[in-house]
C-alpha cells in the first residue's frame, strides 16, 4: 500500500483495474441471478447479492470519476 502523498494510478493501471472490475461485476451479476433463481428474490442471500452488485456498479462509477480526476484532459471515459 502506498504511504505519504498519494500518487494517482497511471492510465495503464486504471485500464487494468477497469478490466478486472468490469469482469468481476459481470460475474457478480451472473451469480446474483443464479442465487435469486434458486432461492427467490425475498431471501437474505438474494438481498445481499443485490446490494453487492449495486456496490460494485457504484465502484465502477467512482473509479471512472477518479480516473478523470487523476488524468484531466486524457480520454478516460471508457476505462471503467
Q: Which domain holds residue 58?
A: 12-67
**What is the per-residue pLDDT across 5-64, written as a single tens digit (0 to 9) for each?**
789 999 999 999 999 999 999 999 999 999 999 999 999 999 999 999 999 999 999 999
Question: Domain count of the chain?
Answer: 1
Tell me if 1 is assigned to some domain. no
Sequence-separated (6 or more) residues with CB below 8 Å from residue 39: 45, 46
Tell me if 21 is assigned to some domain. yes
Tell me if 80 is assigned to some domain. no
Buried b (16+ CB within 10 A) or exposed e, 36-49: beeeeeeeeebeeb
Tell me if 45 is assigned to some domain. yes
pLDDT (0 to 100) of residue 3: 67
Tell me if 3 is assigned to some domain. no
- Give the span between the Cα atoms of 76 and 65, in whole angstroms: 9
- Asked whether 57 and 18 are in contact (CB, 8 A), the reply is no
Q: How many residues does the chain have?
A: 80
pLDDT (0 to 100) of residue 1: 54
pLDDT (0 to 100) of residue 2: 57
Amino acid at each position: 500500500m502506498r504511504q505519504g502523498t498519494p500518487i494517482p494510478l497511471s492510465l495503464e493501471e486504471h485500464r487494468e483495474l477497469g478490466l478486472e472490475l468490469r469482469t468481476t461485476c459481470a460475474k457478480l451479476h451472473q451469480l446474483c441471478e443464479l442465487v435469486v433463481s434458486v432461492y427467490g428474490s425475498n431471501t437474505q442471500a438474494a438481498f445481499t447479492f443485490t446490494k453487492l452488485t449495486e456496490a460494485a456498479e457504484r465502484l465502477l462509477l467512482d473509479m471512472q470519476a477518479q480516473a478523470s480526476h487523476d488524468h484531466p484532459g486524457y480520454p478516460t471515459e471508457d476505462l471503467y
